[in-house]
Amino acid sequence: MSVELDRFKQVLKNNGHFVTKPRLRLFGHLQNHKVVTVSQLISLLSHHDQATVYRNIKIFEGLGIISRLQLGWHSKLELSDTFQHHHHHMTCLKCGKVTVLNEDPAIEKQIEHMSARSNFKPIHHQLEIRGLCHICKKT
């Protein structure tokens, strides 16, 4: 069993939630897909009713298991930094493709420096670069 799965089960238990098959399947799909829409999750979990999927997404968000990436009027979901390495994103404004960027120590250091200069204690941050992917910029 993975460390992330153990951590996931512990978060649920510590917050009074049961570890159920639908929750385990949802977590598994989130582990296997870097960034996914709610519609995609519903398709992947077609053997579960939509209400169960939506309810568990809401629980996962409330517990900090998943993070929501706001992309204009739409959003995508991914596991939070608690369950994967911290990273940033590049999002195509035309096709919606999200590219995960590996953590860059120089960017992280700069965020720490800017926060310290402003006497600010960062708890969480998210960097998203919006533009056109290599395919969409050709058209």
Q: Which residues pair with 12 in a beta bridge?
A: none
Helix, strand or coil, per DSSP, at residue 57: helix
pLDDT of residue 1: 56
Q: Model's pTM, two decimal places?
A: 0.76
Whether residue 78 sits in one domain with residue 12: yes
Q: How large is the average pLDDT for residues 90-106?
A: 85
Residues 75 and 112 in one domain: no
Domain membership of residue 24 as a residue range: 1-84
9/37 same-domain check: yes
Do residues 31 and 22 make contact, with C-beta atoms less than 8 angstroms apart? no
Say yes or no: 23 and 78 in one domain: yes
CATH number for the domain spanning 16: value is 1.10.10.10
pLDDT digits (tens, 9 = 90+) for 69-79: 877 677 889 89
Determine phi and psi for 72, rounding to 5 degrees. 65, -125
Q: How many domains does the chain have?
A: 2
15: pLDDT strictly greater than 80? yes
For helices 50-62 and 21-32, angle between their N-to-C axes, nearest 10 degrees: 70
Give residue-wise pLDDT tens across range 29-53.
Answer: 999 988 888 999 999 998 999 999 9
Q: Which residues, at least 6 apart from 24, have a Cβ–Cβ distance to it below 8 Å?
A: none
- Which of the four pLDDT bands, split at 50, 70 and 90, describes residue 98? confident
Tokens encoding 62: 């409330």
